[in-house]
Amino acid sequence: MTIAMGKRPIVAVLYREALPPRLDEVEELAEVRLTKADGLAEALAGPEGSAGADVLYQWHSFSPALRENWAAASSLKWVHVSAAGVSQLLFDELINSDVAYTNSRGVLSRAIAEFTLGFVLDIAKDAQGSFRLQQGRRWQHRVTRKIQGQRALVVGTGSIGREIAALLRAVGLQVSGAGRSSRPGDGFFDEIHASRDLALVVRNVDYVVLAAPLTDDTKHLVGADVLSAMKPTAHLINVGRGELVHTDALVDALLSGSIAGAALDVVHPEPLPAEHPLWSMENVILTPHMSGDTEDYLDDLGKLFVENLWRFSRGERLRNVVDKKLGFVP
């Protein structure tokens, strides 16, 4: 992945509605072609007589347009996507090509960790129950759960999982992890288990937190076997991807009391249909895939791309290079 010295790279910017922030900084470093999905082929190949694009800046994070227009991407050297999870964007031709692929890993990690901590506190202190009582104008004293000394298992030990572990440990939880393979603990996790053994290691856990990327290995990682192995007082928290969980099995576990409840920022299908039973369950907290979306997150995403474009234009190593066969940044 190189570009001729002194040559300004050509960047095709794929957007849906709003343009990315810091576009003026991108234009200082490169020739920019702005396009929506229906114009991507021309932006990649270039107008007749001009060079093709070197870079695709996929600001429209989950568009399938690159797959649909791959034939026009013969000059492409690098794709950057403004999201952390990219498994649904990868396809065989891209995976098997020499095109570098980077994501926005790390930009949203702290925000997602804070959201996760918020879920834990919401559950332990029964904030939902207090709100329902307030709506009914009922003054009803209760006791709540102390989180210090409780156990959390964070599934996914990448940048998001580590940030979650750090915050949970800071408020007194004991935190273990689950990843591709078991290994000794580190500064974030007391110990790290293999995800394939999840049903064996959730038995004494109070909070199972999902923060793993979606891959062939992690799809439906949490099914009936894992849910039935959890304590009846335990809660499932999902800030990763909806398809990490088998939704029907989760509904069954919640209805039967096999687990105490769930806090879900992501679901499958998404958005959740209006008639879906998860909407009406008092032991479920639902938020619309927003755990990483703080007031300044778009600017932070733009800042990362500008930094990587600067590196690309100088032939330096890019940040957040995805292993395309694995589907995530190792």
Radius of gyration of the chain from Cα atoms? 22
Spot the catalytic one: 27, 28, 93, 270: 270
Contacts 24+ apart (CB under 8 A), 268-272: 268/241, 268/242, 268/243, 269/242, 270/242
Active site residue 241: yes
8 A C-beta contact, residue 289 and residue 265: yes
Spot the catalytic one: 80, 110, 162, 241: 241
* CA–CA dist 54, 75 (Å, integer): 6
Of 98, 62, 66, 59, the residue nearest 80 (C-alpha): 59
Sign of CA dihedral 77, 81, 84, 89: negative
Spot the catalytic one: 67, 289, 311, 319: 289
Active site residue 193: no
8 A C-beta contact, residue 208 and residue 236: yes
* CA–CA dist 212, 156 (Å, integer): 4
- Amino acid letter, residue 272: L
Active site residue 289: yes
Q: Catalytic residue positions?
A: 241, 270, 289
